[in-house]
A and B are shown apart, each in its own frame.
Chain A
Amino acid sequence: MVTKRDYRDMTAGALLLLLGLAAAWYASENYRIGTITRMGAGLVPLSLGVMLAGLGLMLMIGGWFRKGILPEVRVLTPICVFGSIAVFGLMIQPFGLLPAVMASTTVASLAEKEFRPLRILVSGLLLSAAAWGIFVFGIGLSIPLITWKL
């Protein structure tokens, strides 16, 4: 869909502007700025934050004077893919490799918009076996297959 103004770039610019300002503010609040010859820890993050904010502003202004296309934003897929990584991160230490891989595979598979328990179970088991074979048996990482640490 073509829009009168480039809302995509304007939003991106606004976000970068906010991010830059936040970084600049945080750096100036918490770290010594110093001078160019005796720089403190805060000078570089402060200047980078200001630069990022400036570039964000330029992007916003540029977008105002341009026609644009609205990007397609996916909803279900990111939730499943990001969820699958989060589930792995949450489960790997308390429960071990097998439960973490099974759970993350299940969540990831939901992005297909169809739920096939048997296929998920089989692929989860196969992937766990592959993971164990490559990382634990092959490379010798010490990740327990199943554990219970809460």
Chain B
Amino acid sequence: MKLPATTALALILSAGLAQASDFPSGNVTIIVPYSPGGSTDLVSRQLAVDLQEIWGVSVIVENRPGAGSMVGTTALSQAAPDGHTLLVNTAAASTAPAIQSLPFDAETDVTPIKLIGQSAYVMVAGSGVESDTMSEFLEEAAASPKFFATAGVGSSSHFAAELFLQQAGVDGDIIHFSGGGDANTNLMGGHADIYVSNTASVIPYVRNEQVKALGVLGPDRDGLLPDLESSGELGIEGININAWLGMFGPGGMDPDLVARIDADVSTAMQSEGFQALLENNFIVGGESSPEEFAAQYIEEMQLWRDLAEQRGIEAD
């Protein structure tokens, strides 16, 4: 959607004044592109509490769910790049643009600011799977094709599953559910078999022994989950991805402002509450610079675009 000329002009005028030195000059809104209550929402709300103390202004979490996080991201792309509108998203930020036609350019109309945390992609299995490890599962899946649950079409769990199917060379059907909770529930009931997602959305159910963790995606085992086999050690190559959580701003933000917010978020993440949240969800705090994060974002987006093309995934 194109902005009306007057609005665009107003945005440009106000954007000209956005400098790192006078930030924040008012309340800050963090858009969460998901319904309240999910893991992204909880992390953002904790972050908002800590940032509020640092900045001394109200930091408001605004949920804008829909279209696999792209409704909220579209709203972000249309906001003024003055740092007062931010967004927290998962790797869905890089997967959803691979299949959706969006009213903005995912490469230039958002500014990656901060990698908040990373975790492994964990493969969990439900009651319909007999295997207890990924190596056993590969044999089981070769004998009878399995159903791979996702948290929604275009979500990171969708693309992680597709990447696994492609690189491991196994057959399987993809079923889209509405969110991670729904996917896990269907695993428990045996309606779907496998769900590949970030730690935060599977670990609670693994802990309760409602689903079993088979392994992690990646060349090596995960430091926090050393008991789980990695896809790499089983000879599956070409899977070198991590699930992540990152903060974004609208496109065209002043680099000084980005650096300033990056530094403040890093400070906020040191709080006791935030550290506990990361630890509880097996997430490692992100250390990379805004430039490194931006590079990672662009690179992953290309990876998913190529995968979508190779496997014929398209929104039609």
Contacts and interface: CB of A to CB of B under 8 A. Distances in A.
Direct contact of A and B (CB under 8 A): yes
Interface in A30-46: 31-32, 40-41
A150 B316 contact: no
A41 B6 contact: no
A32 B316 contact: yes
A31 B316 contact: yes
Interface in B75-113: none
A149 B10 CA distance: 9
Nearest to A34: B316
Nearest to B6: A150
Contacts of B6: 150
Contacts of A31: 316
Contact of B316 (A40, A142, A149): A40
Nearest to A31: B316
Contacts of B10: 149-150
Contacts of B316: 31-32, 40-41
B100 to A, nearest CB: 12
A48 B10 CA distance: 43
Interface residues of B, number: 5
A145 B6 CA distance: 22
Interface in B302-316: 315-316
Interface string A62-81: 00000000000000000000
A32 B314 CA distance: 10
Nearest to B27: A142
Interface in B1-47: 6, 10
Contacts of A32: 316
Contacts of B60: 142
A150 B10 CA distance: 8
Interface in A98-150: 142, 149-150
Nearest to A30: B316
Interface in B267-316: 315-316
A31 B316 CA distance: 5
A41 B316 CA distance: 6
Nearest to B29: A142
Contacts of A40: 316
A142 B29 CA distance: 12
B175 to A, nearest CB: 13
A150 B4 CA distance: 11
Residue from the set B6, B10, B315, B316 with the largest chain A CB neighbour count within 10 Å: B316
Interface in A7-38: 31-32
A44 to B, nearest CB: 14
A142 B315 CA distance: 37
Interface string B39-60: 0000000000000000000001
A142 B27 CA distance: 11
- Closest 9 A/B residue pairs (Cβ): A32-B316, A31-B316, A41-B316, A40-B316, A150-B6, A149-B10, A150-B10, A41-B315, A142-B60
Given A41-B316, A150-B10, 7 more contacts: A31-B316, A32-B316, A40-B316, A41-B315, A142-B60, A149-B10, A150-B6
9 contacts: A31-B316, A32-B316, A40-B316, A41-B315, A41-B316, A142-B60, A149-B10, A150-B6, A150-B10
